[in-house]
Amino acid sequence: MNQFQNLINDCLIDTKHVESAVILVAKTAAVTAASARFQVLPTQAQIFIDSFKHMTLTRERGFYFQDKAYTCVRADRNSIYCKCGTHGLILVKTALYIIVATYNDSMYPSVCVEAVEKLGRGMLVLLTAYKLQQLSTAGFKGDGLLTVYYLQIRYEGYLFYVFD
């Protein structure tokens, strides 16, 4: 299991409010990791990526995904929220990846949104720290109900901690 697979399981699926999730590479539409039994075809992955480039069309048309027609309820440069009845589809864009997650009628949409957005922010923090090349430790600790994102940076002899 790769690190991205662990992120999907620990930060999303374990909340019990994300039904399934996938992390796509934003430039190539390649699947980096996906939850169990969740498949995104290459054409659908490309549609998800292009949706951030064509927001007006995304708002007007929504998505047809896994035999459901999803209506776009919110779209901005970093996230897209869609729903089909009591089911939902959440897309969050980071600098390098797009996180796609679904929820069903037994889940709270707000918890799903919060978990996916938080993972997206955490991935941005890790990318920033990596670019600094001062990263000592970074991680995600959680029990499914509460997830704490942390970052430990050594810079010019000082040790900094960043928590989210």
User: Residue 7: its pLDDT value, please?
Assistant: 84
Question: Which architecture does CATH list for 3-163?
Answer: 2-Layer Sandwich (3.30)
State CA 38 to chain mean position distance: 14
Which residue reads 């509460």 in tokens? 146
3-state secondary structure of 41: coil
Residue 7: burial class (beta carbons within 10 Å; 0-12, 13-18, 19+): buried
User: Residue 34: its pLDDT value, please?
Assistant: 94
Domain spans in the chain, listed from the N-terminal domain onward? 3-163
**Residue ranges of the chain whose pLDDT lies below 50:** 129-138
User: Residue 128: its pLDDT value, please?
Assistant: 53
3-state secondary structure of 87: strand
User: Residue 135: its pLDDT value, please?
Assistant: 40
User: Residue 98: its pLDDT value, please?
Assistant: 94
pLDDT digits (tens, 9 = 90+) for 50-74: 999 999 999 999 999 988 999 999 9
